[in-house]
Structures are given as C-alpha cells and as structure tokens.
Amino acid sequence: MSKRFAKRLLSLLISILLVHAVAFMMVRSTRGGPFDEERSLSPQVRVALEQRYGLDDPLAVQYLRAVGGLLRGDFGPSLRYRDTQVSELLADALPISLALGGGALLLALLIGIPAGLLSASKRHPLGAGIAATCSTLLLAIPNFVIAGVVVALFSFRLGWLPPAGFGQLRHLLLPWLCLALPLAAQIALLVRARTTETLQGAAVRSAVAQGLAPAVLLKRYVLRPSLTPVLAFLGPATAALLTGSLVIEQVFALPGLGTFFVQAALARDYTLALGVTVVYTALLGSCTLIADLLMAKLDPRVEALS
C-alpha cells in the first residue's frame, strides 16, 4: 500500500514538473512579451524591465530559477498586477476555489447518490423516468446556461439570493448549485447503472431470502458495491469541476483561481497563467490519487489488479 502510494506520489510530482517545464518553454518562446503594449518603450526602459524580471539571462538559468521558485511555491511577479507576486494572488484565490469546488462536490454527491439509488429501485417507475430524463437534460445543457437560468429565477424573479459577488455564504449557494447539478446527474447515472446490476445479483437475492431488513440490506449489500464507480469517477469529477469553475466563477464574479486564469490568459499575464496551471495540475493529481486510495480501501480487488 505505502509503496504503491509512494510510486503514485512520485509520478504526480513528475507530471507537475513536466507541465511546468512545457508551460515555461511555451511562455519563453513568445517574443511578444507583456511589455510591448500600445506604445513602444525606449530601449533603456525595456532593458531595465527585462533585468528586473530576469528575462535577460540564458534560458537554462531562467528555467532553473523557475524550478527553484516552484519548489518554494514562488512563481515570480505577476506581469499584469503591479508589485504583486503570483503566489500572493494564488494564496488569495485558492481558498475560494477550494470552497467552491469542495462544496459543489459534496452537494453533487448528496443529490446524485440518493437520486441514483431511488431511480434504480423498481418501486418508483415514474421516479426512474424522471431521474433519467433530468440526468440527460443536465448533461446536454452548458453550465453557463444553467447559471443564467438559476440567476434569472432565484435572483431576478424571486430575489432570494444575490446574482454575483463574494463575501458571505449566500454568495456561494448558487455557484454550488450550478457546478453540482451536471456532476450530480453523472453520479446518479453511474449509481443507477451499478445498483440495478447489484440488485439483480445473487448476493442481494440470498440476503432478501434470509429476510434481512431493507435498511441493513441497503447498507451492507447495495451501498458498498454501488459506491465504487462513484469513487472511480472522483478524478474525472475534479477535472469537470475545474473546467466548470472557469465559467461559474466568471458568471458569479468570484475572485477564485478560474477567474484569475481566464483573465491572465486573455491579458497575456503568463506568469500568473503558468502558476494557476501548475496549481490546477497539482489539485487534479492529488484528487485522483486520493480517489484511487479510497477505492482500493473500499474494494480490495482494485489493489490486487494493479
């Protein structure tokens, strides 16, 4: 277990380094820098600027310095926000994005698992149809549309929740909902498929024959096998959350990683974009790792296979 964990951790570190290296090379390969904007700079000013940001050193030196910075969590100064370190911006934005993503994931699980279980049980034929339709529908609608509809309904029509902003818990409720709904749909579909299979299996049939109480049956024989695909889905779910948060943070004007990343990508703030990319890679990698470990814990066969 620990050996496998160490191996995975190592490969995670390597992939972070690789992403960083490729992104670094891409940034350095652009000859149009952040300094040639509308008006041209005098040569002296340009040289001074390049010296300040260390752009006049050989590429290898720059790269090694960047790796050193990476190890210390330092990505250098932002090219757009004057006198601000990228790491400061990241430190401000990361908690917001984590709260957004974590809350959305939790909400998705809370909606998705019961919905999947319910729609798999034969006692609710109507419920099954509704759940299936809702899931397909949610998967076919882009999340910014969901956001628009939700804002129009809850903020403009009903006036219950603020349409944008940040600071209080109620600012996060709508973003959570918008991010969670498509994920909940996928989780529900996964749980439904696996539970249908489990319910038809021999284990459940003999348990029923023994006269086990439904609650015990659910807990001991249905829930556990039904949750493995959900755990396996946690990695892709994190990726989907990252992608979704790019949009949702924009719509609700949340100052999280996604907002910074999109702004940086549009405004050519490459050091910031690079920093966010590395943080995203680390986030996704660690979530996948945790999901794998949990899965091995829940289903010993996984361990045996790999």
Partner 1 sequence: MKIKWLTRTAWVFLALLAVLSLIAPWLPIADYRAMDPDARLVAPQWTTAPMLGTDAQGRDMLARLLWGARISLFVGLFGTIVAMLVGVPYGAFAGYRGGRWDRTLMRLADALESIPMVVFVLFLMSILQEYRAELAFVGFGRLQLFLVAIGLLFWLPTARVARAEALRIRQLPYVMAARSAGMRGWPLLRSHILPNMMPALRVMLLLTLPRVILMEAFLSFLGLGVEPPAVSWGGLASDGLAAMNPLVGSAWLMLLPSGVLALTLLALQRVGASAKN
The percent helix, strand, coil of the chain (3-state, each to 5) is 80, 0, 20
Question: Considering beta carbons, is residue 6 or 139 the nearer one to partner 1?
Answer: 139
In the complex with partner 1, the residue whose CB is nearer, 116 or 244, is 244
- Contact segment (CB under 8 A) with partner 1 among 52-60, 116-124, 207-215, 281-289 equals 281-289
CA–CA separation, 246 and 257 (whole Å): 8
Contact between 105 and 231 (Cβ < 8 Å): no
94 near partner 1, judged by CB under 8 A: no
Give the SS3 label for residue 85: strand
Report the distance separating Cα 222 and Cα 205, nearest Å: 11
Give me 4's structure tokens.
């496998």
Token reading at 228:
């493995």
The piece of 7-15, 68-76, 110-118, 219-227 that touches partner 1 (CB under 8 A) is: 7-15
What the block records as the tokens of 173 is 């409720």
Q: Tell the smallest beta-carbon distance from residue 207 to partner 1 (Å).
A: 31
Pick 24 or 176: Cβ nearer partner 1: 24
Q: Cα-flanking dihedrals φ and ψ of residue 85, to 5°? A: -80, 145
User: Which listed residue (104, 237, 273, 291) binds partner 1 by CB under 8 A?
Assistant: 273
Q: Compute CA distances 74 → 18, 67, 77, 87, 123, whole Å.
A: 17, 9, 9, 6, 57
One residue of 183, 191, 276, 295 binding partner 1 per CB under 8 A: 276
Lookup: tokens for 155: 């903020």
Among 52, 136, 220, 224, binds partner 1 (CB under 8 A): 136
Count the residues of the shown chain that bind partner 1, applying the rule CB under 8 A. Answer: 50
Closer residue to partner 1 in complex, CB, 8/65 = 8
User: Which stretch, 40-48, 74-82, 187-195, 237-245, contacts partner 1 (CB under 8 A)?
Assistant: 237-245
Phi–psi pair at 77, nearest 5 degrees: -75, 150
With H, G, I as helix, E, B as strand and everything else as coil, classify residue 269.
coil
Residue 6 sits in the site that holds partner 1 (CB under 8 A): no
User: CB-wise, 121 or 259, nearer to partner 1?
Assistant: 259
- 190: closest CA among 102, 111, 284? 111
Query: How far is the C-alpha of 83 from the C-alpha of 177, rounded, in Å?
Result: 36
247 interacts with partner 1 by CB under 8 A: yes
Contact status, residue 267 vs residue 130, Cβ threshold 8 Å? no
Is 162 a binder of partner 1 (CB under 8 A)?
A: no
When asked if residue 24 is in the footprint of partner 1 (CB under 8 A), the reply is: no
Closest distance of CB 276 from partner 1, Å: 7
The yes or no reply on residue 242 touching partner 1 (CB under 8 A) is: yes
Q: What is the SS3 string spanning 52-78?
A: HCCCCCCHHHHHHHHHHHHHHCCCCEC
Using rule CB under 8 A, residue 260 touches partner 1: no
Q: Return residues touching partner 1 (CB under 8 A).
A: 11-12, 15, 19, 23, 26-27, 29-32, 136-137, 139-142, 144-145, 147-148, 151-152, 155-156, 235, 239, 242-243, 246-247, 250-251, 261-262, 264-266, 268, 270, 273-274, 276-277, 280-281, 283-285, 288
